[in-house]
Amino acid sequence: MKQNVKKLLSLLISILIVLGFSAILEQRRTDPLEKMLSAMTLREKAAQMMVASFRVWKEVPEAEDAEQTAEEPPAVNITELNEEIRGLVSRNHFGGILLFGENFQDAEQTLRLIAELQSTNRSGGGLPQVFFVDQEGGNVNRISYGTLGVSNMALAATGDPANARIMAAIQGEELGLLGIQANFAPVVDINNNPSNPVIGIRSFSDDPLTAAEYGCAYLNGLHDAGIAAALKHFPGHGNTDTDSHTGFPVINSSYDELKDCELVPFKAAIDAGADLVMTAHIQYPQIETETCTSITTGEKVFLPATMSRTILTDILRGDLGFKGVIVSDALDMAAISENFSIEDTLRLAVNAGVDLLILPPVKDTKAFRLTERCVDTLAALVESGEVDEARLNESVLRILKLKQKYGVLELKDFSVTEEKIAAAKDGIGSAAHRDTEWHVAGKALTLVKNENAAFPVQLKPGDKTLILFADSCASRAGAGDLVRTMLEEAQALPDGAEILVMKNTRENEAECVEAALKADHVILVNRVYAVACLDPATEDGFSTGSFDAIIDAVHAKGAAVIVVSCQLPYDAARFPEADAILLTYWGSMMRQLPAESGTWSANLPEGLLACFGLYETDGRLPVNIPELDEQYRPTDRVLYARMP
């Protein structure tokens, strides 16, 4: 009897298992995304994994040995589609489009460009595309007429993660008004190398927990606005002294070291619901040991994170549990293009686990032809067996899920209405958004030094104040003119008080010293965007030598000098003799007094106004400022400590 019962139970269990598997298979067959995937050709799957971008149109000969014309063909920013691009988009159903600064003129033009790209793609039978942009806030902004934000490092300097969420929500709202669904932000790299030439103020901090807290807040702000967020650059681009746009960085950290530092904000933001993670074109030889031969140098190079299955599949997906879309950084960057053929790039990246490939942008007709070739190449790699079609299926399904989540698949009507145009014009770069930006920038202002009651200046009737811009920030000198105008309009200048704005050059060093000696108050504005800017012997840093001379000369007559930093804060260590040092964490280009409708960053103008006592300086230093050695290079000794 017992044996019969056991057999019966065993039979029932077998039936239930079979029914369960059948139900799962049936669900997969009826799932709308699975249906979309199964209906795609191999070439359509390949194109769905690619993000194209069209920046500049310039005719160049197709053949390498073609005769060059005497007159260089004009380069035209792509703000509307030509017939060639229309054909490319309608033939190749790219999964997404990445927009750059060249694509943005004003709100109406952008709306029409995006609508034309979407409708052209749909007319060729493609699924609606995801539109991407790098609108990080701070010094990486593509939409020149929008709210620029204040830089991630400035957000952390405010001491309140709510400011990161608020600014991200503003960025997201403005993107949504244009029909852009995804932002390649936030940067959650930890700027733990002061010599880093590319991350800098794009990072929140050199502290993992701070970067995690503010990165999650920024992520949530984009999600509040209905915009997909992408963490970058995995597994960390902060601890490099090489820019992957121009070189091939190496980070010699072990996996345990990454887990204790660089991976902390990535893990936190993944747990908070990040939709995309962007890869870093960086070598990690202690983690990925496989090598290839560089196509330009012939030397052995390690596979970068973008091509490392260990880093992307084992660590990012396995250990960190990321289930979203892995997107490569741009494949035209020197770290990739100078070391790998396009065939090897596509093969290695896809096999490593990349879902979305950011194709080299179209800057001329040669790059235009490469864009279409990439689709054919990936399809051919599958047909030859070098890439498994199952890998494409995994990636395309993730991309479709992303499109479904953000309503992209439901898009049908791409007409540009007067209502859409009016909403975009009213909302993008609005007064309310700029007021918030101004408020947040003020909260970030950090006074790291103030001796001899130098800060703020105490203006008396007839006083003369010199605001002198280093050559490295001469393009920001319009901020000085703006501040002078704002002080006049606020009636904050005593009778007869004057403000002189100058730019320091190699030709006018003596004139600058003379102007400083004649002034009652001296404010020096400096900009460091690379460690070379700290060395007066370099082209980028020669103004620091002029500033040294000015500080000495002004002190000799018994007056004080304020130094205002308008990008990386590490110049705080460069001027130890300055009486006061104020950090603003960014200043956008402003060559002249901006037009009424023009956009500019609030950081530097507000910092200069604070020098005259109009704003408080309650910001908290989000990174350690190291001492410099005799060659003006950062040391391991901390001069100004990060504030909790």
How many CA atoms lie within 13 Å of 492's alpha carbon, on the beta-carbon side?
Answer: 17
* Cα end-to-end span (Å), the chain: 73
3-state secondary structure of 311: helix
Q: In angstroms, rounded to a whole number, what is the distance separating the alpha carbons of residues 527 and 589?
A: 12
Q: Are strands 561-565 and 580-583 parallel, antiparallel or unpaired?
A: parallel
583 phi and psi, to 5 degrees?
A: -105, 130
Paired tokens of 150 = 């204040």
What percent of the chain is helix, strand and coil (3-state, nearest 5)?
Answer: 45, 15, 40
Q: List the catalytic residue out of 160, 241, 243, 245.
A: 245
Q: Any catalytic annotation for residue 245? A: yes
Give 39-45's long-range contacts (Cβ < 8 A, gap of 24+).
Answer: 40/396, 42/379, 42/382, 42/383, 42/389, 42/392, 43/375, 43/376, 43/379, 44/93, 44/126, 45/389, 45/392, 45/393, 45/396
How many CA atoms lie within 13 Å of 542's alpha carbon, on the beta-carbon side?
Answer: 11
Q: Any catalytic annotation for residue 329? A: yes
Give 189-192's long-range contacts (Cβ < 8 A, gap of 24+).
Answer: 189/232, 189/233, 189/236, 189/237, 189/238, 189/262, 190/236, 190/238, 190/239, 190/261, 190/262, 190/264, 190/265, 191/153, 191/238, 191/623, 192/238, 192/239, 192/261
Paired tokens of 52 = 């194209």
Burial of 639 (0-12, 13-18, 19+ CB in 10 A): middle
Q: List the catalytic residue out of 275, 329, 355, 579.
A: 329
Paired tokens of 44 = 């359509």
Q: Give the residue numbers marked as catalytic.
A: 245, 329
